[in-house]
Amino acid sequence: MNVKEIFETMEYGPAPEAAAPGLAWIQERTPFNLFINNQWVKPASGQYIDSINPATGKRLAQVAAATSADVDAAVAAARVAFETWGKTPGHIRTRYIYAIARHIQKHARLLAVLESLDNGKPIRETRDIDIPLVARHFYYHAGWAQLMESELPGYQPVGVVGQIIPWNFPLLMLAWKIAPALAMGNTVVLKPARYTSLTALKFAEIVQEIGLPPGVVNILTGEASQVGEALVGHPGINKIAFTGSTDVGRSIRRATAGSGKKLSLELGGKSPFIVFDDADLDSVVEGVVDAIWFNQGQVCCAGSRLLVQENIADRLIEKLRERMEHLRIGDPLDKAVDIGAIVSPGQLKEIQRLVNTGVEEGAVMWQPSWACPTEGYFFPPTLFTNVSPATTIAQVEIFGPVLVSMTFRTPAEAVELANNTRYGLAASVWSENINLALDVAPKLKAGTVWINCTNLFDATSGFGGYRESGFGREGGKEGLYEYVRPKWETLEAPAKEFHIAEESTSTNGSRPAVSADEDREFEGGEQLLDGYTPMFPAIDRTPKMFIGGKQTRPDSGYSRDVYDPQGQVIGQVGEGNRKDIRNAVEAAHAAGGWAAGTTHNRARSYADAAAEVQAAISRLFSYAAWADKYEGAVHRPPLRGVALAIPEAIGVIGMACPEEHPLLGFVSLVAPAIAMGNTIVVIPSQVAPLSATDCYQVLETSDLPAGVVNIVTGDRDLLSQVLAEHDDVDAMWYFGPAEGCKRVELASAGNMKRTWVSYGHPRDWMDTVQGEGEEFLREATQVKNIWVPYGE
Ligand code: NAD
Ligand code: MN
């Protein structure tokens, strides 16, 4: 090709990055051993597994296959290390973490080459995105180690953390896990993904180089069934941090239920990319390329559903196809390549299977005219049109370079389509009308919303999901709370379960006769004549349930007795059942507009209620105060723009109140939840529900809209189970015995709702640190980050 021809075709020539330094580094070390206590240790099994270069399909290295014996050794090392690392002053931890960041930069090119060789992603991405973000994450968290004492004063580290990461951003996911963990004083045992261990092993060398104390970071390579499961089940671990598929996340939720292990899950997604008709279409096209062809579409937050306003759909699709013709696929180490290799043959097969399904389902498939390399695992960029929203390819995460497109007419329809998924990880909104974009962003159920941009990440801004995309955040101050627990919380054996008295259910709705009891003071009882105490029967109290703003009779038609501390019956409450819970959830769901109202309104209804509830008056005022003061943050990532971190209501929260302090416990949970805009279904104290049901009048006369607070009395554990299983309930709080906590966590795995349970540990509800404050507000909210770049 002569210069003139090159000028005319604008074809790139190859610009390969040298593989030699990476290959030499591997050759000197393979087979790789395990990294435990700052030493390279042979796996107990003596077994090694192959790591493949997906661009060639050939073996790159051998890494150790750890088994549970190695997990035991690594956890033991981490436990010992925690004894000192957890008490090491923040400033000293800062210096270590800072040194890690510096060393990442010193080895940046080797890390980028290793990552491209091992994972198949283009060097342009590993060199310009993955590795710089890794260094940034350590720098940022070095700062938080320095500031922990002043900025998180009431908190201590969690302990030993088991961390499990996927193969799509191997070193970046390691950084997201290890940086905040070390900053907050935890020690870790990390398992890289089966296909991509090499950069984690290079990271281990950096740990040695900078002289991090032994046992603070341990890295175990191997199979999920051997290492992953052993970590999840290990009693020496205080928290599991997992990034991966929703299915595995669900199994980890179940496996850790009731163990008291803290858990954060970053799972899958099917994120919408919404284009309004006034968007800048050339920018949109580049945005789509980044959204779905970045990292071959193997990105949890990939904009994999293109939602286009109908009147511009044809024009955009045409431009997109034209752009796809010019995408370059091939050798990941070629600096001019846009699309590299798919990580494994299994993943490639799965993408092919889902694409076939799309065709069978009647969608129109389009691929560029050029062919993929025949060696290695490649898949061409693929665009589906004529997709209907309920089909497999519109709902299932494909995790490959496959985009499905659909159209909408109005903004409301766009929001509805966008939220028509069980996931909620991210979304992009494209419009030149900032009013429209900022109106749509809060309506999208997603942890991150990018306006006129996509796939931007920074350590300042928390990343994580809503709904089945998991819970917890990585990055930002919000991410730190995943790695700490309140200082007052001890890790002693669970407290003795609070005793719930044996009770009988009277089936005729009437109260059993009150027996005379010398110790008992009757209402209005008074010494009258010598030795004669007349018995004034207590006033009959038979509160109904409180659902949708109305007092309703229990569906069962049964009541249950309520006893005083001496065991005397003092009234009855309705015996709630499944149907009552369903009705209550429906009412709470329908009252969803509560979150959209102004925070000022929420503050005012509170103050009204507070005036009438004497016992918990101060707490109600606290949350009335917080309702318009629990604000988010404006993050300043390194771009021209801001990320608005907004704490949003979670939705419908189910809650089982503590038995101790029936009124204060009730108020302590209900108040922060509704102050933050949630609607709730609450099960009052089972033994002493009357103080809660006495609030009906308060609720009725306050300005709270019907359905915001719903109260169902009855068997705590039975009703909790129904709530925890319910798909329209977005979070479940349970303060009760350990056994009940376990059942709630197990049942929550259905729709991966967030749970907050006490594991049977005591909490001093009278204490203002334990019984109220930011911990409650955090549990009642989830942070959404809205990225808003500036400039023309
Ligand atoms: P995966 O869930 O199969 O594996 C993730 C990790 O978990 C691997 O290290 C694996 O070995 C381990 N693992 C698998 N089964 C396990 C078990 N039973 N117990 C313990 N550990 C187990 O996912 P993957 O195929 O490696 O990664 C792709 C998935 O990850 C996609 O669904 C993607 O959406 C998700 N992902 C999410 C995020 C996020 O931040 N939300 C980021 C990257 C990837
Ligand atoms: Mn590999």
- What is the pLDDT confidence band of residue 597, given thresholds at 50, 70 and 90? confident
Residue 465 CA, ligand 2 centroid: distance in Å: 27
pLDDT of residue 522: 35
CA 166 to ligand 1 centroid distance, Å: 5
- Alpha carbon separation from 159 to 70, 95, 228, 229 (Å, rounded): 19, 20, 18, 19
Which of 427-436, 484-493, 700-709 is the most confident on average? 427-436
Residues lining ligand 1, Cβ inside 6 A: 164-168, 191, 193-194, 224, 228-229, 232, 243-245, 248, 251-252, 266-269, 300, 397, 399, 425, 465
pLDDT of residue 595: 84
* Closest ligand, as measured to the CA of 195: 2
The overall average pLDDT reported for the chain is 91
Query: 119 CA distance to ligand 2 centroid (A)?
Result: 5
Place of tokens 């509805």: 416
CA 117–ligand 2 middle distance (angstroms): 7
Q: Which of 119, 242, 243 to mutate to test the pocket of ligand 1 (most atoms within 8 A of CB)?
A: 243
Q: Which two tokens stand for residue 462?
A: 């928390």
Which ligand has the minimum distance to the alpha carbon of residue 223? Answer: 1
Q: Among 137, 165, 168, which residue has the most ligand 1 atoms within 8 Å of its CB, making it the best to mutate?
A: 168
Nearest ligand to the CA of 65 is: 1
pLDDT of residue 459: 97
Catalytic option among 125, 300, 657, 725: 300
Residue 613 amino acid letter: V
Whether residue 734 contacts residue 251, with contact meaning beta carbons closer than 8 Å, is answered with: no
pLDDT, tens only, 148-170: 999 999 999 999 999 999 999 99
The residue with greater pLDDT, 514 or 81, is 81
**pLDDT of 523 higher than 60:** no
> Which atom of ligand 1 lies at the shortest distance from residue 347's CA?
25
Query: What is the predicted pLDDT for the residue at 509?
Result: 36
Amino acid at 50: D
pLDDT at 377 over 70: yes
pTM > 0.85: yes or no: yes
Mean pLDDT over 541-556 rounds to 88
Of 245, 398, 469, the residue with max ligand 1 atoms within 8 A of its CB, to mutate for a pocket test, comes to 245
Nearest CA to ligand 1 atom 34: 268
CB 414 within 8 A of CB 273: no
What are the pLDDT digits (tens) for 36-65? Answer: 999 999 999 999 999 999 999 999 999 999
Ligand 1, atom 11, lies closest to the CA of 224
- Is 300 noted as a catalytic residue in this protein? yes
Which of 489, 459, 488 has the alpha carbon at shortest distance from 476?
A: 459
d(CA 422, CA 257): 22
In order, the DSSP letters of 3-56 are HHHHHHH-PPPP-BPP-HHHHHHHHHHPSB-EEETTEEE--TT--EEEEEETTT
Strands (E), 225-266: 239-243, 262-266
Q: Ligand 2 mean position to 194 CA, how many Å? A: 8
Question: Does the active-site annotation cover 301?
Answer: no
Pocket test for ligand 1, best of 174, 300, 301, 471 (most atoms within 8 A of CB): 300
Backbone torsions φ then ψ of 121, nearest 5 degrees: -85, 150
CA nearest ligand 1 atom 35, residue: 244
pLDDT (tens digit, 9 = 90+) per residue, 165-176?
999 999 999 999
Q: Of ligand 1's atoms, which has the minimum distance to the CA of residue 267?
A: 41
Q: Which of ligand 1's atoms lies nearest the C-alpha of 248?
A: 2
Q: Is residue 163 exposed (0-12), middle (13-18) or buried (19+ Cβ within 10 Å)?
A: buried
Return the ligand 1 atom nearest residue 223 CA.
11
pLDDT of residue 537: 55
**Secondary structure of residue 735 in the 3-state scheme:** coil
Query: What atom in ligand 1 is closest to the CA of residue 176?
Result: 40
Mean pLDDT throughout 724-747? 97
Q: Which residue out of 130, 137, 164, 195 has the highest number of ligand 1 atoms within 8 Å of its CB and is therefore the one to mutate?
A: 164
**Residue 456 class from Cβ within 10 Å (0-12 exposed, 13-18 middle, 19+ buried)?**
middle
Beta-carbon neighbours within 5 Å of ion ligand 2 = 51-52, 118, 195
Residue 166 CA, closest ligand 1 atom number = 26
User: Rounded to whole angstroms, how far apart are CA atoms 561 and 460?
Assistant: 53
CA distances from 518 to 165, 538, 601 (A): 65, 15, 50
pLDDT tens per residue, range 281-294 = 999 999 999 999 99
Å from CA of 153 to ligand 2 middle: 42
Q: Which atom of ligand 1 is nearest to the CA of 194?
A: 11
What integer pLDDT is reported at residue 502 of this predicted model?
42
Length of the chain measured in residues = 792
Range 127-134 contact pairs with CB under 8 angstroms and sequence separation of 24 or more: 127/17, 130/169, 130/171, 130/172, 131/104, 131/171, 132/108, 133/172, 133/175, 133/457, 133/458, 133/459, 134/104, 134/171, 134/172, 134/174, 134/175
Ligand nearest to the CA of 341: 2
The reported pLDDT for the residue numbered 568 is 85
pLDDT at site 690 = 86
**423 C-alpha vs ligand 2 centroid, how far in Å?**
28
* Cα(262)–Cα(486) distance, integer angstroms: 12
> What average pLDDT score do residues 325-349 get?
97
Contact 580, 545 (CB under 8 A): yes
Active-site residue, selected from the candidate residues 17, 115, 125, 266: 266
Q: Is the Cβ–Cβ distance between 105 and 220 less than 8 Å?
A: no
What element of type H or E holds 354? helix 345-360
Q: What is the DSSP letter of 658?
A: -
Q: What would the mean pLDDT of 502-511 be, rounded to a whole number? A: 38
* Ligand number with the minimum distance to the CA of 61: 2
The whole-number pLDDT of residue 536 equals 55
The answer, yes or no, to whether residue 680 has pLDDT greater than 90, is yes
- 336: CA distance to ligand 1 center in Å? 30
Taking the C-alpha atoms of residue 655 and residue 755, their distance in angstroms, rounded to an integer, is: 10
- Ligand 1, atom 12: closest residue by C-alpha: 224
Cα of 300 to ligand 1 centre, how many Å? 10
φ/ψ of 149, rounded to 5, equals: -60, -40
For 356-413, what is the HEC assignment? HHHHHCCCEEECCCCCCCCCCCCCCCEEEECCCCCCHHHHCCCCCCEEEEEEECCHHH
**208-264 pLDDT, tens digit each:** 999 999 999 999 999 999 999 999 999 999 999 999 999 999 999 999 999 999 999
pLDDT of residue 233: 97
- Using DSSP, state whether 84 is helix, strand or coil: helix
